[in-house]
């Protein structure tokens, strides 16, 4: 191979890498309009076809994941697939208003994937590995699994995603098991836990002191001593609902209610 050809090949390779890295993660008001009388999915596909080179995406590898109606428009999200298998956190979404103006395009496409997609272990084997990974003793629901592409650097991999609703250890556990190597790759608990001081069940019952008064919300040593430190369970998606507190209950207003 000639020196010029080598240099040209290197230039093309570096150029393609630069283009992949330069693909925008977000396009705000890209200047595209669609027919507001057409379906949201049709419009979103039209937008992505027009922007595919700029976004660095492959239209045929996108599958509709969610279509939602907002107050002033539609939101359509497509999940990225690699050789028919979903890519974890790989997606592209299109947001349009009721007048047909494209307001936002979000791009989480994962470029450059090149890996085998034939698992060497079964789903049942992956589930057993996941159970051992979290030292599972009791469940509180059905264990589910599916094949995914985990694009985490430096080594993207084909994985079994195993979801375990566990009673002991308590949690909604998600475990990625390498479908080729047969080893746990990552795990996390989607339930959140915290602690706080509560009256359990009340300051009067805890102390037996019927002379306690509210004192216009002022603290007192007696009221402070009557509290107990407890674990606050039920923290999911920043919504606090559990045995000691329910910020989504009827009558609760202010900043908390919209999250419920």
Which of 134, 142, 135, 138 lies closest to 176, judged by CA?
134
Domain covering 21-107, topology: Phosphorylase Kinase; domain 1 (3.30.200)
Degrees to nearest 5, angle at CA 90 with 69 and 18: 120
Q: Is the Cα dihedral 171, 177, 182, 184 positive or negative?
A: negative
Which phi and psi (to 5°) does residue 250 adopt? -60, 135
Where are the domains positioned within the chain? 21-107, 123-189, 192-259
Average predicted confidence (pLDDT) for the chain: 85
For residue 46, pLDDT over 50 is answered with yes
Closest C-alpha among 110, 89, 109, 94 to residue 45 = 94
pLDDT digits 0-9 by tens, 95-122: 999 999 999 999 999 999 999 999 999 9
Q: Which residue has the tokens 């040593």?
A: 221
pLDDT grade, residue 223 (50/70/90)?
Answer: confident
pLDDT given at position 206? 76
Contacts for 160 with CB less than 8 Å, ≥ 6 apart: 119, 121, 123, 126, 127, 130, 145, 146, 147, 148, 176, 177, 179
User: Burial level of 14, CB count in 10 A (0-12/13-18/19+)?
Assistant: exposed
Domain 123-189 in the same topology as domain 21-107 = no
Q: How far apart are alpha carbons 107 and 28 in whole angstroms? A: 11
Q: Which comes out higher in pLDDT, residue 255 or 194? A: 194
Lowest pLDDT segment from 20-29, 98-107, 135-144: 20-29
Q: How confident is the model at residue 126 (pLDDT cuts 50, 70, 90)?
A: very high
The dihedral sign for the CA sequence 142, 65, 27, 57 = positive
CA distance 214 to 230: 22
Helix (H) or strand (E) holding 178: strand 170-178
Please state which CATH class domain 123-189 belongs to: alpha beta
- Residue 26's contacts (CB-CB under 8 Å, 6 or more residues apart) are 104, 105, 106, 107
Is the peptide bond prior to 201 cis by the omega test (within 30 degrees of 0)? yes
Answer yes or no: is pLDDT of 6 > 60: no
pLDDT of residue 193: 72
Task: Give residue 210's Cα distance to chain centre.
Answer: 49
R_g of the chain, CA atoms, integer Å: 26
Q: Model confidence over 47-95: pLDDT tens digits?
A: 999 999 999 999 999 999 999 998 899 999 999 999 999 999 999 999 9
- DSSP H or E stretch at residue 150: strand 144-150
- Here the tokens at position 206 are 């805890």
């Amino acid at each position: 191979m000639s020196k010029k050809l080598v240099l040209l090949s290197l230039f093309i390779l570096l150029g393609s890498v630069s283009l992949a890295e330069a693909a925008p993660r977000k396009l705000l008001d890209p200047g595209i309009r669609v027919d507001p009388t057409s379906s949201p999915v049709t419009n979103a596909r039209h937008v992505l076809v027009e922007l595919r080179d700029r976004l660095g995406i492959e239209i045929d590898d996108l599958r509709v994941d969610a279509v939602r109606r907002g107050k002033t428009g539609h939101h359509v999200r497509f999940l990225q697939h690699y050789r028919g298998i979903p890519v974890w956190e790989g997606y592209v979404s299109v947001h349009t208003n009721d007048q047909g103006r494209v307001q936002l395009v979000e791009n989480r496409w994962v470029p450059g994937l090149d890996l085998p997609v034939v698992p060497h272990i079964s789903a049942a084997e992956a589930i057993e590995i996941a159970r051992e990974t979290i030292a599972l003793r009791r469940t509180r629901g059905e264990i589910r699994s599916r094949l995914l592409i985990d694009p985490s650097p430096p080594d993207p991999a084909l994985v079994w995603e195993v979801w375990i609703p566990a009673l002991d250890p308590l949690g909604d556990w998600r475990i990625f098991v390498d479908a080729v190597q047969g080893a746990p790759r990552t795990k996390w608990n989607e339930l959140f836990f915290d602690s706080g001081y509560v009256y359990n069940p009340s300051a009067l019952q805890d102390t037996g002191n019927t002379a306690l008064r509210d004192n216009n919300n002022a603290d007192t040593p007696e009221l402070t001593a009557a509290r107990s430190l407890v674990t606050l369970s039920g923290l999911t998606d920043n919504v606090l609902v559990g045995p000691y507190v329910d910020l989504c209950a009827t009558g609760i207003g202010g900043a908390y209610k919209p999250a419920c």
